Chains A and B, each alone.
Chain A
Amino acid sequence: MVDDTSQTINLSAPVLEKLEAGSRPFSLLIQKLTGIVGKTGILYNADELLVYECDGYIVDKSAPDIVVFPTTTEQVSATVKICNEFNVPFLARGAGTSLSGGCLPIGGGVMIVLTRMKQILELNLRDRYAIVEPGMVNLHLTNALKGTGYHYAPDPSSQGSCTIGGNIATNSGGPHTLKYGVTTNHVLGLEAVLPDGTIIELGGPTAEVPGYDLHGVYVGNEGTFGICTKAIVRLTRDPEAHRTMLAVFQTIGDATRAISEIIAEGIIPSALEMMDHGIIQAVEEAFHFGFPLDAGAVLLIEVDGLEVAMDAEVSKILELCNKNNVREIQRADTPEERMLIWKSRKQAFGAIGRLSPSYCTQDGVVPRTRLPEILEFIEQTSAKYGLRIVNVFHAGDGNVHPILLFDERDQGQIQLVLEASEEILEKCLELGGSVTGEHGIGVEKINFMSRIFNETDLATMEKVRNIFNPRQICSRDKVLPPHGSGNATKVTQTHPARRAPH
């Protein structure tokens, strides 16, 4: 607790379990934070906080006590120092598009929303980098680069709203990662406010820096290493030409074999997205693209590169699809046709809104050749739990996104969703994969960590976390399971406990 008279920071004091609204520390905290960000940069009324009670993962909810909107690194640092002084937990939030509860303020506290730090600070095409503030919307950077011949390559499906700072926290991927890599492959350096308020720089605009690759360690920390306040990102050359195809297959197995053979041929498509039977029906009902309703799988295949190479690559892909019993192929030869094909993929999630009031998207990964097995298992799980599960995902990476449809007003259904998700992710591990390819561990999958990693692995990760965040005051209870849970073999949490762990 803060000492009102001396304002001494006691860093060994435990982080507050609860900040009582209206209490003296609460009022004093509001006063101090207002002094940093101004009256227009702070929210603390319960009705205003409601929007921040969850992110894209709606299964768990917990509102912060206070939300601040800093506009400079110094304001972030000052805010963090005040939180330490009051022993109040805090965490960063960008656009709140996390699908694993990465922005869930467990135990309340102060949420530092970075959406007002959204400037491009430098664009340098000659040296192929941009320096941006963390609240910059991913797509806005690429839009700002239009006409230069360059873009920012990581493009999560939420790129129209998600922020670069959030992408760094999560090490976000997207449909084009098969060829272009994920966020960590495109971050050259960053500035961050550590959980004690210190401002640090890691990496830099050069192609590498001597010493340990700490910006590489920082990417994917899910907010637990402090708050990224500036990012130096690599810019990628635009491809000269694209060719996009939609291939309709009778079975998932045929589609998967086609993928393996395309890649074995030496062609790395820039995107390989698959939609299964369930999502095809939903998309068709909503948007009438003309997909056959009895198709087992639709594969969106995109290649890019120099115009001179495109026709040969397309011919080869068509040949390999035909060899694997493709039923029909639509080709996009104009930008308009390409947009239409991509619309069917990008609007898939919108179509789900017509099917059910709520949905939960999972993020398992399997070796690409094991896709038929995991999809068959998902179908069995759907039948077992009586839950509708549809799939639209990054097939080239083996990154499946089973979408579990439910009604969040029904507690029984929520429990079924949790159990079905658990079984699917467990199967991903059994097939040699991972429980998250791009959404992060967050709060959602924290109990899986002790099944993926042994105690030594987790202890090493904890050592690294403690270098950055020794008090665990920043984005608490994320990524690493709390002590004593290392031997847990089963998820025992139920929804109410997950709602309010503190």
Chain B
Amino acid sequence: MSPLSSGSQEEFVPASQTELSRFMTENAAVDHRQLFPVGGRTSLAVCCPASQTGIQLCTSQLNRVVDYPIRDLTITVEAGMRIDELIKIVSAEGQRLPLDVPQSNRATIGGVIATNINGPKRFSYGTIRDYVIGISAIDGMGNLFKSGGRVVKNVAGYDLGKMLVGSLGTLAVISQVSLNLRPKPQSMSMVWFQFDSCQTIDQALEAVVTSGTRPIAVEYCNAKAASQIAAEARLELPADHHTLCVCYEGPENEVRWQTDKIASEWNQFSPLHVQTVENEEATRLYDAFTEYQTSSDDPVTIKAILLPSQMMKFIETATQLNIAVQAHAADGIVFGHLPDSASSLDDVQQIFNQLKTTIDPKTGYLNIYQCESDWSDSLPLFCSPPAGWDLMKQFKNALDPEHLLNSQRFNELVEI
């Protein structure tokens, strides 16, 4: 198959993993073009700024189910399978992959792994790293390799799948994945609380540590974000203050017991409003929380990774800066959509500098999550080096010695 022209970047759409491997082998030997793996193109602003030239490796035709032994609760699929398709297949058997993926009608499983997409349920179910039991991928030289297998428990060999989680296509192109599945719960409800201040929110979050309930997710949003989330869910919910929304899943009696219990536990923090959302409405509200991190038309979305105990200090400053904030609060993962008033790179830099003062650099990270393509070359994704960055450089050199795979993003990762 010959590369097709697609705007400023060409595109290659392999029909099989072998074809992709062959193409990448030839590229490494002859053309030395920059390669950008793409799935549903939902995270291009993160993974593949438009200003770069090269070839997009599109996995859209690598979308087959390879093996689905239903009663073993595992599935093996090619990496280009869309998330909504995967959900449909496993849902028909009463199963699910317990992850939250925005834009699931476009996002692919390979993309979810490469960008480490996760959402509210991470508090109780973990993230994609916890569900990949086997992986195949093609390195920068075209070598198709695998690790793990198709059984849920397996320690044979090194866990190479982990290095690809969040690797943004800079080490290898993920081509096939085996996943661990879970049974679908019977029901789900959410309780929407409004509190008067960040301090009260912090106290309520601290109380989650010893709550008699076992939430599936604990979501925070400030007033600006709350009104947008409620509107997206088409629900009449008060949104003038700070919101905590707690989610429960399971048999109906267990869910009802927990929604009542959390309302009574948090009564001591004098919530301004408490409302339980059930059935279809709960699903719509949950989906609105899942989508919100990528739903903005605002120029820049940031992601902060913090200790939960240090999170509200950051959120308070972000709120003062008119940022719409959502957080997977019990995990310390914060998303913020910068206001329209941040209309220049200077404005954005100033906001960043103010936010950074609230972060302990030893236990917190502030990153760009999405931004307008015009700015993506000027705003590094990563604002401080992660632990082990020297080793990361060696991983890049070992798996992609010619630096052909999305290498500008990699450089930002390790050369801040």
Give chain A interface residues in 419-461, CB to chain B under 8 Å.
Answer: 432-441, 445, 448-449, 452-453, 456-457, 459-461
Q: Do residues A210 and B150 form an inter-chain contact, with CB atoms below 8 A?
A: no
Residue in B363, B388, B413 whose CB lies within 8 Å of A200: B388
Contacts known (A204-B387, A206-B306, A457-B157); A397 close to B152, Cβ less than 8 A = yes
A170 in contact (CB, < 8 A): yes
Q: Can you give 19 A-B contacts (C-beta < 8 A)?
A: A184-B162, A200-B390, A203-B388, A207-B333, A208-B127, A211-B414, A212-B395, A216-B129, A220-B155, A220-B158, A365-B154, A394-B153, A397-B151, A398-B153, A432-B150, A439-B155, A453-B157, A461-B160, A464-B163
Q: Do residues A209 and B254 form an inter-chain contact, with CB atoms below 8 A?
A: no
Contacts of B3 in A (CB 8 A): none
Alpha-carbon separation in the docked complex, A449 to B390 (Å) = 29
Chain A, residue nearest B309 (CB): A126
Contacts known (A125-B209, A456-B144); A209 close to B156, Cβ less than 8 A = no
Residue in B116, B257, B367 whose CB lies within 8 Å of A308: B257
Interface size class of B (residues with CB under 8 A): 35 or more
Give chain A interface residues in 324-372, CB to chain B under 8 Å.
Answer: 365-369
Residue in A205, A306, A397 whose CB lies within 8 Å of B363: A205
Q: Do residues B183 and A265 form an inter-chain contact, with CB atoms below 8 A?
A: yes
Give chain A interface residues in 249-297, CB to chain B under 8 Å.
Answer: 260, 263-268
Q: Do residues B149 and A185 form an inter-chain contact, with CB atoms below 8 A?
A: no
Contacts known (A216-B162, A306-B258); A367 close to B74, Cβ less than 8 A = yes
3 shortest interchain CB distances as A-B pairs: A216-B162, A437-B153, A266-B183
Chain B, residue nearest A468 (CB): B391
Contacts of A457 in B (CB 8 A): 145-147, 157
Q: Do residues B333 and A460 form an inter-chain contact, with CB atoms below 8 A?
A: no
A38 in contact (CB, < 8 A): no
Chain A, residue nearest B122 (CB): A207
Q: Do residues B258 and A441 form an inter-chain contact, with CB atoms below 8 A?
A: no
Q: How far is the CB of A16 from chain B (nearest CB, A)?
A: 26
Chain B, residue nearest A173 (CB): B153
Alpha-carbon separation in the docked complex, A461 to B394 (Å) = 14
Q: Do residues B163 and A217 form an inter-chain contact, with CB atoms below 8 A?
A: yes
Residue in B145, B305, B309, B392 whose CB lies within 8 Å of A460: B145
Chain B, residue nearest A150 (CB): B209
Q: How far is the CB of B162 from chain A (nearest CB, A)?
A: 3
Alpha-carbon separation in the docked complex, A309 to B249 (Å) = 12
Contacts known (A210-B386, A266-B186, A306-B258); A467 close to B398, Cβ less than 8 A = yes
Contacts of B381 in A (CB 8 A): 210
| Number of A positions contacting B (CB below 8 A) | 87
User: What 1/0 flags go to B290-307 for Cβ under 8 Å of A?
Assistant: 000000000000000111
Chain B residues in the interface with A (C-beta under 8 A): 69, 71-74, 94, 116, 122, 126-127, 129-130, 139, 143-147, 149-160, 162-163, 165-167, 171, 182-186, 206, 209-210, 212-214, 250-251, 253-254, 257-258, 305-309, 331-333, 362-365, 367, 381-382, 386-392, 394-395, 398-399, 413-414
Chain A, residue nearest B133 (CB): A434
Q: Do residues A126 and B257 form an inter-chain contact, with CB atoms below 8 A?
A: no
Alpha-carbon separation in the docked complex, A434 to B151 (Å) = 7
Contacts of B206 in A (CB 8 A): 126
Q: Do residues B163 and A213 form an inter-chain contact, with CB atoms below 8 A?
A: yes
Q: Do residues A202 and B159 form an inter-chain contact, with CB atoms below 8 A?
A: no
Q: Do residues B152 and A398 form an inter-chain contact, with CB atoms below 8 A?
A: yes
Q: Do residues A368 and B363 form an inter-chain contact, with CB atoms below 8 A?
A: no
Q: Do residues B163 and A211 form an inter-chain contact, with CB atoms below 8 A?
A: no
Contacts of A263 in B (CB 8 A): 71, 73, 183
Alpha-carbon separation in the docked complex, A206 to B209 (Å) = 16
Chain B, residue nearest A461 (CB): B158
Chain A, residue nearest B67 (CB): A432
Contacts known (A126-B309, A464-B398); A213 close to B162, Cβ less than 8 A = yes
Contacts of B182 in A (CB 8 A): 268
Q: How far is the CB of B354 from chain A (nearest CB, A)?
A: 21
Q: Do residues B386 and A209 form an inter-chain contact, with CB atoms below 8 A?
A: yes
Contacts of A182 in B (CB 8 A): 153, 155
Contacts known (A181-B130, A264-B71, A456-B145); A211 close to B389, Cβ less than 8 A = yes
Q: Do residues B253 and A185 form an inter-chain contact, with CB atoms below 8 A?
A: no
Q: Do residues A306 and B257 form an inter-chain contact, with CB atoms below 8 A?
A: yes
Contacts known (A213-B165, A460-B145, A467-B394); A432 close to B127, Cβ less than 8 A = no
A171 in contact (CB, < 8 A): yes
Q: How far is the CB of B364 from chain A (nearest CB, A)?
A: 7
Alpha-carbon separation in the docked complex, A411 to B24 (Å) = 52
Alpha-carbon separation in the docked complex, A204 to B258 (Å) = 32
Chain A, residue nearest B257 (CB): A308
Chain A, residue nearest B381 (CB): A210
Residue in B186, B209, B306, B414 whose CB lies within 8 Å of A126: B209
Q: Identify the interface centre among A212, A465, A480: most chain B CB within 10 Å of its CB.
A: A212
Residue in A208, A367, A369 whose CB lies within 8 Å of B333: A208
Q: How far is the CB of A487 from chain B (nearest CB, A)?
A: 18
A214 in contact (CB, < 8 A): yes
User: What 1/0 flags go to A395-433 for Cβ under 8 Å of B?
Assistant: 001110000000000000000000000000000000011
Contacts of A260 in B (CB 8 A): 71
Q: Do residues B386 and A211 form an inter-chain contact, with CB atoms below 8 A?
A: yes
Chain A, residue nearest B397 (CB): A467
Contacts of A323 in B (CB 8 A): none
Residue in B69, B157, B163 whose CB lies within 8 Å of A452: B157
Residue in A149, A213, A217, A369 whose CB lies within 8 Å of B210: A149
Q: How far is the CB of B148 from chain A (nearest CB, A)?
A: 9
Contacts known (A434-B156, A436-B156, A456-B145); A369 close to B69, Cβ less than 8 A = yes
User: What 1/0 flags go to A186-205 for Cβ under 8 Å of B?
Assistant: 00010000000000111111
Q: How far is the CB of A449 from chain B (nearest CB, A)?
A: 6
Q: Do residues A479 and B365 form an inter-chain contact, with CB atoms below 8 A?
A: no
User: What 1/0 flags go to A213-229 for Cβ under 8 Å of B?
Assistant: 11111011100000000
A127 in contact (CB, < 8 A): yes
Alpha-carbon separation in the docked complex, A268 to B249 (Å) = 14
A163 in contact (CB, < 8 A): no
Q: Identify the interface centre among A128, A210, A466: most chain B CB within 10 Å of its CB.
A: A210
Contacts of B158 in A (CB 8 A): 217, 220-221, 461, 464-465, 479
Alpha-carbon separation in the docked complex, A437 to B160 (Å) = 16
